[in-house]
């Protein structure tokens, strides 16, 4: 309120649970402590939360007696923020941008307007592609088991024959090239 500190804050309630590092998932538990988190985004969000963003310059306090629409922005965030971002871009912003008329662009040059639209559309497509890549399972080729002992010896700096080292390098190159 005083214009000091971070310009943003996240507020959310977490269901009781604990993080399971071996699976990378949260396990809900009945006896775990309930959390009401107010943070600057350091904890992982599960579910939904709210954010408040101070739009005033640093050091300028928010005026509590006036409407603060131009001083504080608030919104909802989700644990799958990338999906929400894609939805907002494709269903909200793109429709507004498509319907902008000539006078809505003010003094913007036609070339700048064209460049903005191209950049916006490219960004929108990149977000879609990033989401697709996150949703597809990642299939990694296993390192051949017959070379595992040689690789362990190499890592342990034990002496191994040059042809075995070259065989491992060739196999790694083959695996990496298959990813393209």
Taking only the tens place, the pLDDT of each residue in 101-128 is: 888 888 999 999 999 999 999 999 999 8
Beta bridge partners of 50: 11, 76
Mean pLDDT of 1-26: 67
Q: How many CA atoms lie within 13 A of 115 on its CB side?
A: 5
Predicted pLDDT of residue 134: 77
DSSP code at position 64: T
Listed in sequence order, the DSSP H helices in 1-147 are 81-88, 94-98, 110-135
pLDDT attached to residue 143: 67
Provide the pLDDT confidence category of residue 10 given band limits of 50, 70 and 90. Answer: low
- Other beta carbons within 10 angstroms of residue 89's beta carbon come to 18
Does the structure show a pLDDT above 80 at 141? no
The whole-number pLDDT of residue 41 equals 46
Mean pLDDT of the chain: 76
Over residues 23-43, mean pLDDT? 60
Sequence spans of domains, the chain: 1-79, 80-138, 145-178
> What pTM did the predictor assign?
0.47
Q: Which pLDDT does position 161 carry in this prediction?
A: 74
d(Cα 3, Cα 54) in Å, to the nearest integer? Answer: 8
Q: Determine the average pLDDT of the residues in 142-171.
A: 75
Q: What angle do CA 115, 120, 125 make, to 5 degrees?
A: 125
The per-residue pLDDT for 76 is: 80
């Amino acid at each position: 309120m005083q214009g000091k500190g971070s310009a943003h804050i996240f507020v959310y309630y977490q269901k009781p649970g604990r993080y399971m590092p071996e699976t990378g998932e949260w396990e809900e538990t009945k006896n775990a402590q309930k959390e009401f988190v107010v943070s600057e985004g350091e904890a992982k969000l599960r579910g939904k939360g709210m954010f408040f963003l101070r739009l005033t310059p640093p050091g300028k306090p928010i005026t509590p007696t006036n409407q603060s629409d131009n001083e504080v922005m608030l919104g909802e965030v989700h644990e799958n923020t990338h999906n929400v971002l894609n939805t907002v871009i494709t269903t909200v912003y793109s429709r507004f941008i498509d319907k902008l008329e000539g006078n809505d662009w003010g003094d913007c040059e036609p070339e700048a307007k064209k460049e903005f639209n191209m950049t916006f559309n490219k960004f929108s497509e990149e977000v879609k592609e990033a989401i697709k890549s996150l949703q597809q399972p990642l299939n990694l080729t296993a390192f051949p088991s017959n070379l595992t002992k040689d690789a362990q010896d190499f890592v342990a700096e034990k002496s191994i024959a040059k042809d075995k080292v070259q065989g491992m390098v060739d196999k790694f190159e083959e695996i990496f090239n298959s990813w393209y």
